[in-house]
Structure 1
Amino acid sequence: MSLTEGHILNVWIFFSVFLRFGIFTDGQIVYSITEEVNPGTAVGNLAKDFNLNLQDIERRGFQIVSETNRRYFDLNVKTGILLVKDRIDRDEICEQNVKCSLPLEAIVNSPLNIYRFEVNVLDINDNSPIFPTAKTTLNISELAFPGEQFALPSPFDADVGSNSVKSYKLSPNEHFSLDVQSGGEPSVSAELVLQKALDREKQPVIELTLTAVDGGKPPRSGTMQIIVNVEDINDNIPVFSKSLYKARVNENAPPGTSIIRVQASDPDEGVNGEIVYALVNHNNDKHVDSFLIHPETGEITVKGDVDYERKNAVELRVQAKDKGHKPRPALCKVLLEIVDINDNVPKISVTSLVNTVKEDAPIDTMVGMITVTDSDAGKNGQVTLKIQGSASFKVQNSYNNYYTLVVNGPLDRERASEYNVTITATDEGTPPLSSTSVITVHVSDVNDNAPRFPEPVINVYVKENSQIGAVIHTVSAFDPDVGDNARITYYLLESSKSGPVTSMININSDSGDIRSLRSFNYEEIKTFEFKVQATDSGVPPLSSNVSVNVFILDENDNSPLIIAPTYSVHGAENANVLICFTFRGFVS
Structure 2
Amino acid sequence: MATFAWGIRRERGHRSKWGKFQIHPTTGVLNVSDSLNREEQSSYMLIIEAWDNYQFGYTNGESRNAFKQIGVNIVDVNDESPVFEPINGCVTITEFHELREVVTVVRATDADDPNTPNGRILFSIVSGNKLGLFKLENLDYSSARIDAVHSLKGLYGNYTLVVQAQDLGSPPNVVSTENATLGSTIIQVHATDDDIGLNGAVRYRLKQDLMGNWRTFSVDSESGIILLKQPLDREKQKIYEIRVEAYDLGIPTPLSSDLDLTVYVRNINDYEPQFLVDEMVIKFTEHMPTGMERRKIVDTVDRDEVDELDDPPTPVCYFIVGGNEGDFFTIEPLRHEVMVAKELDREASKQHLILIKATEDCIHSPANQNFFDPTDDTYLKVIVEVEDINDNAPHFVKKVFTGGVTTEADFGKEFMQIKAIDIDEGDNAEVSYYQVGQIQMTLTEGLENVQTPPFLVDQFTGVVQLNFDPQKGMKGYFDFMKVKGVDVSLEGAESLNQELLALKEDNLLLHQITLQIQAGVSNEVVQIPEMVDERIQEAQVIPERERIRLAGTTFQGAACQWWKVDQDDPEPMSMDTGQLPYRVQELLVLGRRELVQSFREDLRSLDQLEALIAEH
TM score, norm. by length of structure 1: 0.43
Which structure has the higher relative contact order (CA within 8 Å, separation 6+)?
1
Higher Cα Rg: structure 1 or 2?
A: 2
TM score, norm. by length of structure 2: 0.41
